[in-house]
């Protein structure tokens, strides 16, 4: 029964797109089938507030959106515990204790946080908030509350895991060997480019296909995808290597269909519009079961709430066990 706990999560700040699907969701769906693992997914609403403190409606709304995205791609609540971060207050308590174990200079050096602060000048102005600067501490609490957690992450999250490991070592050296250092599992999933060819797919870039997009939205977006700029007329010889439609065909179409599309494009025998239509159909085919599941959850919000409630209760039990050990080690177990 010694299953390895896995912890992943997202900030509830927007709908998930197909970049998230290939980047992390697909792996999470696969991992939950492995008997050796006990996966948890946190909806990081507290962390989302660190840079959306002035927009609580946005965070609130996206908690359920995110849960529906998870459920519709096949995260199975009987195998994966989905929980809401703010409803496990033990992690907030842990954050306070850990904040003594990390210096401001160390937080300021965290490359992920540094990049983010630079991107958020408009929100933070000259001086960043204590909460945002300190979110790696809160993330360390999220992770360590679930002892022995493996954390599958993208490269941008590695500095956060490293910082968590440092906090754990510091804690253990002062209070005794209580916490377990988590391990980052670098996912080898690729980052999906945007429809415009941008290296990153994102809401702010306007180049994403969302899991919740309708057929019409997908059709419209695919029609606007960037193709070989040198190909003006249909019988110009095309270069699929610089075409986003060809790039997406590789993700959503059969190998045969891809080879066909590329050959016909190079020979000037197929037009971009026909090629886009075929791709849009295949993306819609891929999204069909996801949309159907989502529709069910949209029509039955009480089911989503029940899943979140039960997941959160389960997560809390685990976090409470850790908290008990932590308080004992810190001599805060007054009436025990
Ligand atoms: N930082 C993560 C993100 O931006 C979300 C997150 C919060 C997280 N706590 C976590 C991820 C713990 C992994 C483990 O998406």
Q: Tens of pLDDT along 198-221?
A: 888 887 788 999 999 999 999 999
Residue 158 CA to residue 177 CA, distance in Å, equals 23
Among 191-195, 213-217, 289-293, whose mean pLDDT is lowest? 191-195
Calculate how far, in angstroms, residue 139's C-alpha sits from the geometric centre of ligand 1.
6
Calculate how far, in angstroms, residue 114's C-alpha sits from the geometric centre of ligand 1.
16
Is any atom of ligand 1 closer than 6 Å to the C-beta of 240?
A: no
- For the chain, the three-class secondary structure string (H helix, E strand, C coil) is CCCEEEEEEECCCCCCEHHHHHHHHHHHHHHCCCCCEEEEEEECHHHHHHCCCCCHHHHHHHHHHHHHHHHHHCCCCCCCEEEEHHHCHHHHHHHHHHHHHCCHHHHHHCHHHHHHHHHCHHHHCCCCCHHHHCHHHHHHHHHHCCCCCEEEECHHHHHHHHHHHHHHHHHHHHHCCCCCCCEEEECCCCCCCCCCCCCCCCCCCCCCCECCCCHHHHHHHHHCCCCCCCCCCCCCCCCHHHCHHHHHHHHHCCHHHHHHHHHHHHCCCCCHHHHHHHHHHHHHHHHHHHHHHHHHHHHCHHHHHHHHHHHHHHHHHHHHHHHHHHHHHCCCCCCC
Question: Mind listing the pLDDT tens digit for each residue in 244-287?
Answer: 999 999 999 999 999 998 999 999 888 899 999 999 999 999 99
How many C-beta atoms surround the C-beta of residue 22 within 10 A? Answer: 16
Calculate how far, in angstroms, residue 286's C-alpha sits from the geometric centre of ligand 1.
27
Calculate how far, in angstroms, residue 44's C-alpha sits from the geometric centre of ligand 1.
7
Q: Which atom of ligand 1 is nearest to the CA of 139?
A: 9
Calculate how far, in angstroms, residue 190's C-alpha sits from the geometric centre of ligand 1.
18
Cα distances (angstroms) measured from residue 209 to each of 206, 216, 239: 9, 12, 24
Calculate how far, in angstroms, residue 100's C-alpha sits from the geometric centre of ligand 1.
21
Please tell me the number of Cα atoms within 13 Å of 188 on its side-chain side.
Answer: 0
Per-residue pLDDT averaged across 34-53, rounded? 96
Is any atom of ligand 1 closer than 6 Å to the C-beta of 143?
A: yes
Calculate how far, in angstroms, residue 212's C-alpha sits from the geometric centre of ligand 1.
22
> According to the model, what pLDDT value does residue 1 have?
63
Q: Which atom of ligand 1 is nearest to the CA of 149?
A: 14
Inform me whether the pLDDT recorded for 188 exceeds 80: no
Calculate how far, in angstroms, residue 8's C-alpha sits from the geometric centre of ligand 1.
6
Which of 57-66, 151-160, 181-190, 224-233 tops mean pLDDT? 57-66
> Which one of 160, 167, 203 would you pick to mutate in the ligand 1 pocket, going by the greatest count of ligand atoms within 8 A of its CB?
160
Regarding pTM above 0.75, the answer is yes
Confidence class for position 235, pLDDT limits 50, 70, 90: confident
Cα distances (angstroms) measured from residue 213 to each of 32, 106, 252, 263, 286: 26, 41, 16, 30, 12
> Which one of 6, 11, 52, 184 would you pick to mutate in the ligand 1 pocket, going by the greatest count of ligand atoms within 8 A of its CB?
11
Per-residue pLDDT averaged across 281-302, rounded? 97
Calculate how far, in angstroms, residue 228's C-alpha sits from the geometric centre of ligand 1.
37
| Nearest Cα residue to atom 13 of ligand 1 | 8
> According to the model, what pLDDT value does residue 156 have?
85
> According to the model, what pLDDT value does residue 232 have?
85
Per-residue pLDDT averaged across 153-169, rounded? 93
Question: Mind listing the pLDDT tens digit for each residue in 65-121?
Answer: 999 999 999 999 999 999 999 999 999 999 999 999 999 999 999 999 999 999 999
> Which one of 88, 92, 111, 139 would you pick to mutate in the ligand 1 pocket, going by the greatest count of ligand atoms within 8 A of its CB?
139
Is any atom of ligand 1 closer than 6 Å to the C-beta of 134?
A: no
Is any atom of ligand 1 closer than 6 Å to the C-beta of 45?
A: no
> According to the model, what pLDDT value does residue 153 have?
85
Calculate how far, in angstroms, residue 299's C-alpha sits from the geometric centre of ligand 1.
29
């Amino acid at each position: 029964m010694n299953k390895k706990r896995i912890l992943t999560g997202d900030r509830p700040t927007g709908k998930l797109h197909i970049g998230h699907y290939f980047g992390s969701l697909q792996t999470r769906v696969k991992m939950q089938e492995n008997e050796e693992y006990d996966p948890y997914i946190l909806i990081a609403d507290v962390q989302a507030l660190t840079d959306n403190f002035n927009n609580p409606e946005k965070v609130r709304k996206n908690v359920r959106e995110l849960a529906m995205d998870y459920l519709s791609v096949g995260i199975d609540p009987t195998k994966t515990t989905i929980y809401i971060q703010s409803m496990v207050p033990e992690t907030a308590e842990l954050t306070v204790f850990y904040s003594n174990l990390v210096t401001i200079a160390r937080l300021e050096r965290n490359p992920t946080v540094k990049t983010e602060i630079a991107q958020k000048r408009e929100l933070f102005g000259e001086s960043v908030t204590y909460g945002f600067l300190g979110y790696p501490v809160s993330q360390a609490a999220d992770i360590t509350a679930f002892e022995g957690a493996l954390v599958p992450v993208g490269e941008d999250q590695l500095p956060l895991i490293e910082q968590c490991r440092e906090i754990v070592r510091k804690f253990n050296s002062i209070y005794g060997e209580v916490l377990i250092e988590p391990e980052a599992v670098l996912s080898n999933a690729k980052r999906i480019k945007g429809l415009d060819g941008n290296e990153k797919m994102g809401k702010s870039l306007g180049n994403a296909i969302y899991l919740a997009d309708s057929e019409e939205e997908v059709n419209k977006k695919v029609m606007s995808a960037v193709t070989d700029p040198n190909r003006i007329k249909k019988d110009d010889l095309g270069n699929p290597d610089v075409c986003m439609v060809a790039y997406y065909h590789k993700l959503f179409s059969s190998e045969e269909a891809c080879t066909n599309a590329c050959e016909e494009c190079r020979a000037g025998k197929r037009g971009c519009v026909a090629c886009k239509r075929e791709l849009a159909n295949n993306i819609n085919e891929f999204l069909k079961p996801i949309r159907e599941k989502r529709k069910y959850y949209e029509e039955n919000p009480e089911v989503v709430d029940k899943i979140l409630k039960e997941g959160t209760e389960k997560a809390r039990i685990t976090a409470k066990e850790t908290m008990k050990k932590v308080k004992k080690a810190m001599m805060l177990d007054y009436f025990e």
